[in-house]
Copies of this chain bind each other. A is one copy, B any other.
Amino acid sequence: MKTYLDCIPCFFRQGLDAARLATQDKVKQKKVLDEIATMIPHLSLNSTPPEMGRIIHATIRKFTNSTDPYKKVKEKYNKIALKLYPRLKEEVKRSNDPLLVAIRIAIAGNTIDFGVSSKVNIEKELKNILKQDFAIFDYQDFKNALKGTDEIVYIADNAGEVVFDRVLVEQLNKKVIYVVRDKPIINDATIEDALFCKINEVAKVISSGCDAPGVILRYCSDEFLNYYTRAKLIISKGQGNYETLSEEKRPVFFLLKAKCPIIARDLNCTEGDIILKYNLKVSKNKGEVCQ
């Protein structure tokens, strides 16, 4: 997904949110916004939003001397999510379609996203998403792809969400390569979060090699790219990964909740919708399912 002009005000909002977490010094907070401002005239609208996100958060680290402003909130949501784990497993166990419930749970976990908003009510979101209709629902394609592969590349999004992903990974019952960010950025999951949430017990955890809030392939490690290019089924969680991979001709399934109006527009759906979208699906998808 290219950068829309509407993303520009949002870059400043994201920068301000993160700067406030990193420092209480208003002069430094303003300095961060000034730096973002100096980048805007050089911003190409052909780049994806996480490319700018990567630069914004590098600026915050530079001007606030904080390498990980979201460390505390990530720890908080990792702990909250871990406590929810038995309940999530229970939801899957008592379902007639455990795979679908596990997918819904993985999407519910995606509501933990401080790139979009710093307020989140996981329990409420979980309850809603367990019964919400999908706006795009390529479930049959997903089941077909699952049958046809032994190895799945699963690209993670946020800390905390990892626990919800673990529920889906366990349900997939295949070899899973669980891919996290290379360095802390916003509240995205890193190796540390993956281990804290114990997903390493059911998947091989690797870093993408990229420190953007998405997967920018030219910054990714050879290790990740090897898995990525041979994969017959790739699960991509959340908006940042959608933004960077939506134009890739790869067998990617996007699992996300459309939390921003611009991404909703790009997906031809409505803000708040939940999505299971197959990237190689013939285009009739949009018109049919998402009015």
Contact = CB atoms under 8 A, between A and B. Distances in A.
Given A12-B12, A34-B40, A38-B38, 5 more contacts: A5-B26, A8-B33, A9-B9, A26-B45, A34-B41
A8 B12 CA distance: 7
Nearest to A10: B9
Interface in A19-46: 26, 29-30, 33-34, 37-41, 45
Given A37-B37, A40-B34, A16 B5 contact: yes
Contacts of A8: 12, 16, 33
Interface of A: 5-6, 8-10, 12-13, 16, 26, 29-30, 33-34, 37-41, 45
A5 B12 CA distance: 10
A268 to B, nearest CB: 20
A33 B40 contact: yes
27 contacts: A5-B16, A5-B26, A5-B29, A5-B30, A5-B33, A6-B16, A8-B12, A8-B16, A8-B33, A9-B9, A9-B10, A9-B12, A9-B13, A9-B16, A12-B12, A26-B45, A30-B45, A33-B40, A34-B40, A34-B41, A37-B37, A37-B38, A37-B39, A37-B40, A37-B41, A38-B38, A38-B41
A233 to B, nearest CB: 37
A33 B43 CA distance: 11
Contacts of A41: 34, 37-38
State the majority secondary structure of interface residues on A.
helix
A37 to B, nearest CB: 4
Contacts of A26: 5, 45
Nearest to A27: B45
A26 B6 CA distance: 11
Contacts of A40: 33-34, 37
Contacts of A33: 5, 8, 40
Contacts of A16: 5-6, 8-9
A36 to B, nearest CB: 8
A116 B33 CA distance: 21
A66 to B, nearest CB: 17
| Best-surrounded residue of A8, A34, A38 (most CB of chain B within 10 A) | A8
A111 B38 CA distance: 34
Contacts of A13: 9
